[in-house]
Chains A and B, each alone.
Chain A
Amino acid sequence: MLELAAHILDIAENSVRAGARLIEIGIAEDTASDSLSIEIIDDGQGMNQEEIKKVLDPFYTTKTVRRVGLGLPLLADAARRSGGHLNLESQEGKGTTVRATFGLNHVDRQPMGNIISTLIVLIAGNSDVDFFFKYRHNDRQSEFDTRIIRHEIEDVSINHPEILKYIRGVLDEGFSEIKPEA
């Protein structure tokens, strides 16, 4: 993984596999405290205590097609390398929250990368899941919610090319306003 946006896509895909209906992705940059935090909250099936302990082990996976599970260990490592850490909360039947913090100006922090591409891919590939996205840079904030879009377009599918183009435009505008550092 070369960029944080790829990690976000990966963790959100976990949420999709866990049967989430709503996935909230929050990114916050604070220049004063030199911190960057990424939060992914889902309402999927969640994990029990036993599983929570095991998910950070790269040799633990729920899949049967291979013997490794690297998504969360890679994110934990990316956070640690920049002086941050990974925090995991989960309740069976309620959902899971993954929170990773990074040193904003740490030399080993991965770049944010193309977060718009991550969001478009998530929305297009999982058209039955809702996404709420929040990006804060100090006191400027931008939000995006697929539930609002879905309400307006009625029976048109959210992954229709014209709708995706609109979403791309809205996200572009949001980011150019908040001017992210990462």
Chain B
Amino acid sequence: MAKLTIADLKKIKEKVHAEMSLRDGDRRVKITVHMGTCGIASGAREVLDTLLQEIAQANVNDIFVTTSGCMGLCSREPLVTVEILNQDPIKYEYMNPNKIRQVFKRHILDGEIQLPFVLARGTEITK
């Protein structure tokens, strides 16, 4: 494979620009992966990496992914919070690459909450 250059990056930029004008890139979903020491030690990085690859594969541009710190429930990590516009946030516990794939396909894309993995509905109070 030829080496990736800045020129390739420019091409990608042009392509993304063209797509942006065709579709609206409003943020419909925000996904937070809790990335404290506890989360990282129990596999949060692999969960987020899987999520990024799923998003790329699904070719959607209304999903925003971010990380946050520990929220004090270290024994239930990796924790992922899914916030869909105009809906209560859902917290998923004990995530792994396979479970997050299921959550992505069934909940985020199809709107069906994956109850067996849910820790809670709503959000924690961050102190």
Contacts and interface: CB of A to CB of B under 8 A. Distances in A.
Interface string B2-42: 01101011101101110010000000000001011110110
Contact of B9 (A117, A149, A159): A149
Contacts of B9: 149, 152-153, 163, 166
Contact of B41 (A6, A17, A126): A6
A117 B50 CA distance: 10
A125 B69 contact: no
B112 interface: no
A9 B35 contact: yes
29 contacts: A1-B40, A6-B40, A10-B37, A10-B40, A13-B36, A16-B67, A17-B69, A63-B69, A63-B70, A63-B72, A64-B127, A65-B72, A66-B70, A66-B74, A70-B37, A70-B38, A114-B45, A124-B52, A125-B35, A125-B65, A125-B67, A126-B66, A149-B9, A152-B6, A161-B56, A162-B16, A165-B56, A166-B12, A173-B3
Contacts of A64: 127
A154 interface: yes
A65 B16 contact: no
Contacts of B37: 10, 69-71, 74
A149 B61 CA distance: 20
Nearest to B59: A161
A10 B35 CA distance: 8
Contact of A121 (B55, B67, B71): B67
A156 B16 contact: yes
* A-B CB proximity, top 6 nearest: A65-B72, A125-B67, A161-B56, A71-B37, A64-B127, A117-B49
Size class of B's contact patch? Answer: 35 or more
B13 A153 contact: yes
A72 B23 CA distance: 44
Size class of A's contact patch? Answer: 35 or more
Nearest to A156: B16
Interface in B79-94: none
A1 B41 CA distance: 5
Given A65-B72, A160-B16, A170 B49 contact: no
Interface in A137-177: 148-149, 152-154, 156, 159-166, 169-170, 173
Given A65-B72, A153-B13, A173-B4, A121 B49 contact: yes
Contacts of A69: 37
A27 B10 CA distance: 29
A65 B39 CA distance: 14
